[in-house]
């Protein structure tokens, strides 16, 4: 479905690195104007903006803690001020801390849940209020909820909340012509995923799907591009982008 507006406008949180960066670059290549929200790394955010603009795309960067409702409100204000409105919101900001349930540091649990659960809720709250008709809200979940790997309980729990928020918000936006979906990547070769893993672990995880490789950020951005543009009949779903891992 083509927007009634001249150019679709997308906010991408966590858009300075990894999967979020690939999403920002793909949506820009699709012709959308991009607002990259980043938490602290302004250098990487500005590099992403530069790469987009060098390819004749349109992008700006804006610092915001996704769990801070005032900061997120200012982020949406900025998008509306610069580009005139908001059509797509992709919430890919998230952190991953791993340990067993028995040993997990509860302060770290609270920190991760603040970003992954509260942050998702805050971003979706603003999106629900401001996204224009014909728009899309897309949240990043995880495939580890299905495969139940040891040490991933806290992270998977936080992403289970993302799925719940997405499904229920889709129903709450009845009559608005706004889709809400979650995308659940499998193991994807990003800095976040590779950090702290030895070669044997990475090799094992790359063989867990029948295609027998790790995902690439571009694999995930392709799915988001579909949901952010033509996929008007997919709504309230969690899409597993993981090469067939079960």
Would you tell me how many other CB atoms lie within 10 Å of the CB of residue 24?
34
Output the CA angle 181-35-24, nearest 5 degrees.
Answer: 60
Q: What is the DSSP string of 46-85?
A: HHHHHHHHHTT-EEEEEE--TT-HHHHHHHHHHHHHHHS-
DSSP state, residue 118:
I
Dmax (CA) of the chain: 53
34 pairs with which residues across the strands?
Answer: 10, 59
Which residue do the tokens 């005139």 mark? 84
User: Whose structure tokens read 């991760």?
Assistant: 112
Closest by CA position to 155, among listed 142, 138, 166: 142
* 155 annotated active-site: yes
- End-to-end CA gap in the chain: 32
Report helix, strand or coil for 138: strand
Select which of 38, 152, 155, 240 is catalytic: 155
Which long-range contacts (C-beta less than 8 Å, at least 24 apart) are formed by 211-214? 211/243, 211/244, 213/243, 214/187, 214/188, 214/189
Q: Nearest 5 degrees, angle CA 173-CA 144-CA 167? A: 10
Active site residues: 155
């Amino acid at each position: 479905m083509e927007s009634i507006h001249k150019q679709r406008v997308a906010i991408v949180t966590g858009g300075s690195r990894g999967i979020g960066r690939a999403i920002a670059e793909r949506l820009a290549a699709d012709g959308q104007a991009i607002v990259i929200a980043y938490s602290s790394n302004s250098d990487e955010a500005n590099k992403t903006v530069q790469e987009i603009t060098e390819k004749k795309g349109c992008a700006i960067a804006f610092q915001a803690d996704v769990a801070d409702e005032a900061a997120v409100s200012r982020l949406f204000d900025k998008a509306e001020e610069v580009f005139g409105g908001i059509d797509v919101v992709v919430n890919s900001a998230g952190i991953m801390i791993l340990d067993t349930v028995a040993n997990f540091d509860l302060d770290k649990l609270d920190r991760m849940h603040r970003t992954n659960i509260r942050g998702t809720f805050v971003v979706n709250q603003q999106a629900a209020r401001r996204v224009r008709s014909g728009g899309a809200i897309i949240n990043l979940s995880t495939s580890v909820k299905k495969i139940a790997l040891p040490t991933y309980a806290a992270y998977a729990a936080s992403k289970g909340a993302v799925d719940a928020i997405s499904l229920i918000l889709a129903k709450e936006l009845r009559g608005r012509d706004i889709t809400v979906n979650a995308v659940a990547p499998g193991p994807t070769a990003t800095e976040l995923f590779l950090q702290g893993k030895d070669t044997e672990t990475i090799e094992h995880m790359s063989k867990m799907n029948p295609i027998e490789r790790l995902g690439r950020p571009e694999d995930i951005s392709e799915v988001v591009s579909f949901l952010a543009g033509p996929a008007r009949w997919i709504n309230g779903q969690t899409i597993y982008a993981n090469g067939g891992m079960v």
